[in-house]
Amino acid sequence: MSGTITTLTDATFDEVVGGSDKPMLVDFWAEWCGPCKLIAPILEELAVEHADAFSVGKLDVDQNVQTATKFSVMSIPTLLVFKGGQVVGRLVGARPKGALLQEITSILAAA
């Protein structure tokens, strides 16, 4: 992962996401998840291209069960959109870059 994506843990999640001055897209993923690996490069691109609009974080569900459970993450990849520390959108499953960006944009516009 590059410096554009923040690695989150159970210990840092509330502070980083709650303290973010802009909306944050959090990818709940696991090393063994094929679809998670498919969207990883897309998330890297979005983190760079849309850094002014939102930030991107990743949370490994195998190593951070407490946070994954807190947000009822049952399937991965699950992408949660946070604004002001609150969940304003949930996307489950891999998507092409254009579709993903369109959904994120519409969630943020409605929030």
pLDDT tens track of the chain, all 111 residues? 445 899 999 999 999 999 999 999 999 999 999 999 999 999 999 999 999 999 999 999 999 999 999 999 999 999 999 999 999 999 999 999 999 999 999 999 998
Size (the chain), residues: 111
Active site residues: 33, 36
* Fold observed for domain 5-110: Glutaredoxin (3.40.30)
Predicted TM-score (pTM) of the model is 0.95
Domain-wise residue ranges, the chain: 5-110
**Angle in degrees, 0-180, between the axes of helices 97-110 and 34-49, rounded to the nearest 10:** 60
103, 95 Cβ separation under 8 angstroms: yes
With b for 16 or more beta-carbon neighbours within 10 A and e for fewer, the 13-26 pattern comes to: beebbeebeebbbb
